A and B are shown apart, each in its own frame.
Chain A
């Protein structure tokens, strides 16, 4: 199963810019490969990733087959208030995964 990994600092100072690192296990099958019998392997990728900070979207990414297996995405945000970061992955064949992380702003 797809298991997401999230790396967020537990405590940050107000106004500080901090990095959020995410990784989800997924094969990211491109749809451009063939089996030994010549059949095309159907595409199976994560198409969209988003991050919400206390309900407000702060980051969104559209992924394409050129993204490596087990998509790793890292980005930054400003610490505004304590709360939760929610992560959401959407992909082919009804793939949907969510994760969340708590953050304390001092």
Chain B
């Protein structure tokens, strides 16, 4: 009887300790995700305008082995005429130390709204591309990437 009671107490103590430890861990781990910074960066570009999904194609590999150089292609569905063209394309990430990736300014002379570059990824995350059209509308696309080896975090 007394042994059972002692066992229960020990279990309670263990569970309590475990829960406390878990809570402490959650509190201590710094959040790399910066949704506020990301929203601020996007708002900085689009202002108060509404961003709609579509017209933008974001071509990235779904599985990234090395986050130090990831190929990125953004293509926007636009006729690229003098009156209807893509003004700019901005790419944002979710979990790198900084939300911006690249900002590109185009004009009707581009002929084709398609850009390619290589970028870094610090973690498995979602990448967003936003295009500003000459009529003032904003269109976006997102892509999820799984990163096995992250960039930015390793020392020298």
- Write the residues of chain A forming the contact surface with B, with a CB cutoff of 8 angstroms: 17, 21, 30, 32-36, 41, 53, 56, 58-69, 71-78, 80
Contact call A72/B111, Cβ cutoff below 8 A: no
**Chief secondary structure at chain A's binding surface:** strand
Instruction: Name which residue of chain B comes closest to A34, CB basis.
Output: B155
Contacts of A58 in B (CB 8 A): 107, 109-110
- Chain A to chain B contacts (Cβ below 8 Å), 9 pairs: A30-B152, A58-B110, A59-B104, A65-B120, A68-B151, A71-B118, A75-B106, A75-B115, A77-B110
Q: Report whether A76 and B112 are in contact in the complex, using a CB–CB cutoff of 8 Å.
A: yes
Give how many B residues have a beta carbon under 8 Å from the other chain's beta carbons.
33
A68 touches B119 (CB 8 A): yes
Q: Which residues of A contact B107 (CB under 8 A)?
A: 58
Residue from the list B97, B111, B114, B120 in contact with A68, Cβ < 8 A: B120
Are B68 and A56 in touch, CB under 8 angstroms? no
* B2 on interface, CB distance cutoff 8 Å: no
The answer on a CB contact under 8 Å between B155 and A33 is yes
Contact, CB under 8 Å: A72 / B109 = no
Known: A59-B106, A61-B103. A69 touches B112 (CB 8 A): no
* Known contacts A59-B106, A68-B117; 11 further A-B pairs (Cβ under 8 A): A17-B111, A21-B116, A53-B109, A58-B110, A61-B103, A65-B98, A66-B102, A67-B119, A68-B119, A76-B112, A78-B109
Cα A61 to Cα B151 with chains together (Å): 22
From A21, A61, A67, A77, B105 is in contact (CB under 8 Å) with: A61
A64 x B117 contact (CB < 8 A): no
Q: Which residues of A contact B105 (CB under 8 A)?
A: 59-61
B140 adjacent to chain A (CB < 8 Å): no
Question: Of the candidates A34, A64, A68, A72, which one forms a contact with B100 in the assembled complex, judged by CB atoms under 8 Å apart?
Answer: A64
Verify B97–A30 contact, CB threshold 8 A: yes
